[in-house]
Amino acid sequence: MNSLHIKLAPVYVALAVVAAGCSSGVSELTKDRVSRSEVAVQQAQQAIGNSESGAVELQHARDDLDRAKQAVAAKKDEPAQRYAQQAQLDADLAIAKTQSASARKAADELSASIQTLKQESARGVNNAQQSQPATASDTTAPSNQ
């Protein structure tokens, strides 16, 4: 039985922290989560810049961050945590979509370059074959003996 209590000790501590946070409004954990979400949204904004990829998700992140801040101001811990977490997830998704679009664009450009090189290579081989002088074996007519 002691082993069970030892394993559950972190759970008891977490519950005590949550209970203490609920009694005084918004917990420090929630405030920290909102702060981290704000940083994530700012980082997403910098990563995205003027790109269209991820812009919708970034706007969702901003909206959720605003809701999280409103919930903190209203001393509503649970909604503040939920909105802060969603804001962070949306910011991460915005960055991922932007990076994916950049990688896709780079891959498309590389593919186009490879295609161009193949075409130029094929033209070079064809031109080289057409401009080769005829050799004696090419021009000799078969003998009829």
Structure confidence at residue 137 (pLDDT): 56
Residue 20 has pLDDT above 80, yes or no: no
Backbone angles phi and psi of 57, in degrees to 5:
-65, -35
The percentage of the chain sitting over the pLDDT mark of 90, rounded to a whole number, equals: 50
Q: Which two tokens stand for residue 34?
A: 């909102």
**pLDDT digits over 83-99, tens only?**
999 999 999 999 999 98
Query: What average pLDDT does the segment 20-49 reach?
Result: 86
Q: Left (φ > 0), alpha (ψ -120 to 50) or beta: where does 71 sit? A: alpha
Structure confidence at residue 15 (pLDDT): 47
Residue 139 has pLDDT above 60, yes or no: no
List the one residue out of 134, 53, 56 whose CA is nearest residue 100. Answer: 53
Structure confidence at residue 136 (pLDDT): 54
Residue 140 has pLDDT above 70, yes or no: no
Task: Give the pLDDT band of residue 138 (cuts 50, 70, 90).
Answer: low
DSSP 18: H
Backbone angles phi and psi of 50, in degrees to 5:
-100, 10
Residue 17 has pLDDT above 70, yes or no: no
More confident residue, 19 or 107: 107
Structure confidence at residue 53 (pLDDT): 86
List the one residue out of 106, 21, 82 whose CA is nearest residue 114. Answer: 106
Alpha carbons 91 and 144: distance in angstroms, whole number: 84
Prediction pTM value: 0.62
Length of the chain: 145
**pLDDT digits over 41-81, tens only?**
999 999 888 888 889 999 999 999 999 999 999 999 999 99
DSSP 94: H
Angle made by CA atoms 88, 13, 15, in degrees to the nearest 5: 65
List the one residue out of 140, 20, 42 whose CA is nearest residue 88. Answer: 42
